[in-house]
A and B are shown apart, each in its own frame.
Chain A
């Protein structure tokens, strides 16, 4: 028997090795899933994986650089005009927002409930590598050195994107709300109905299960994060209901929604530090 590098070893048969390696894999899976004993090891391995990720993302990175270089003056001016107009309208809306926030604070004081503390957000660049096929995860270029922690919420300009599920030194992996293993507690912005939004593995749909036919939910309703469970901050848009199917044979409505955040494009995300939660990890910047 010769191994991959041509050296002879007194190796056992293929079947024996299959059994041994399978047992090893199963043990790894158990440790990884049940006990989360491998966080440290995985973080170390992710550091080793970083150069490979950089190499794999290089062509896209260079391609974008070249495209940027050849952007014409006209396009830039157009973009600039569009951004200025957008800024104007946003500023106008902000004028209303400030008195509203004041009023909200006064009302909360009257109710003697905890004041909402502003969340802190930091922009992070996406590392352009793919995750496992048919999972919805992205890698961002901020890690434990920047104070990123597991369970941290990630948003973009339009809504909630997901949460951090793995952290290494300089990078971390974010599971998006469309991932089949993800769920987020929400409120119907119109009726106040509580629900859960589950990912499906499809890039642009989520589902809202466990609601019965008499639930107060309509097509077009905006679902915002409710803050229950403590992972996500309350009040951020999560998804908009696009289709409700009431099949009398099923116990629950089949509700499809479209994520509010632009999960599939954009180069940047925002990592949120909750205002009232003590920040874990040291901040380097």
Chain B
């Protein structure tokens, strides 16, 4: 299949988001479940930092909405959280781009925690808050993975011809 530069760009974006969605619902053994990072959130943050003029709150909302459907969670809860994450990432993208990699990871941790906190509040409001401290591990795992994920996605972005 031959694609123009525009098509390649589009495929790269959709491809990475699709991979994140699949990874988010891929079956995991129960003991490993708390260690699954928020793939959708991570990929969303990356693209918001890289091309904020194309990927921002709208994409965030759409991804969160897809997540809500696939997770069977309260419709709109993840959509709201992802919208906020995208907004913050776009707002801070100039600073975050300048940060050394580890400092960037710390900021990403902040964004992921904000995302989880918002979801926790919503779930608490409807009486379904989980009572375990391991609720926060996905954010920590996500932040630890960030430096590697960043390199992989940057590579894909360059190969896809996205400036």
Check B75 against A42 for contact (C-beta < 8 Å): yes
Check B58 against A4 for contact (C-beta < 8 Å): yes
Query: Which segment, of A22-30, A83-91, A217-225, faces chain B?
Result: A22-30
A112 contacts the other chain (CB 8 A)? no
Check B76 against A32 for contact (C-beta < 8 Å): yes
A135 contacts the other chain (CB 8 A)? yes
Partner of B53, one of A1, A15, A55, A181: A1
| Residue among A3, A18, A59, A203 with max Cβ neighbours from chain B (10 Å) | A18
List CB contacts (< 8 Å) of B34-92 with chain A.
Answer: 34, 36, 38, 53-59, 61, 64, 69-80, 83-84, 87, 90-91
Residue of A nearest to B71 (CB): A132
- Count how many chain B residues have C-beta atoms less than 8 Å from C-beta atoms of the other chain: 54
With A5-B10, A6-B6 known as contacts, the answer to whether A28 contacts B75 (CB < 8 A) is yes
With A56-B25, A135-B73 known as contacts, the answer to whether A180 contacts B128 (CB < 8 A) is yes
Interface class of chain B by DSSP: helix
**A4-B55, A18-B84, A130-B33 given. 11 additional CB < 8 A pairs?**
A25-B77, A28-B76, A29-B76, A29-B122, A31-B75, A32-B76, A49-B69, A130-B26, A132-B78, A134-B135, A203-B33
| Chain B contacts to A: CB under 8 angstroms | 6, 9-10, 13, 21-22, 24-28, 30, 33-34, 36, 38, 53-59, 61, 64, 69-80, 83-84, 87, 90-91, 122-123, 126-132, 134-135, 138
Q: Could you pull out 21 A-B pairs where Cβ atoms are within 8 angstroms?
A: A2-B54, A15-B87, A18-B84, A21-B80, A21-B83, A22-B84, A24-B76, A26-B80, A28-B75, A33-B126, A49-B69, A52-B25, A56-B26, A59-B26, A60-B27, A130-B25, A135-B73, A173-B72, A181-B128, A200-B132, A201-B130
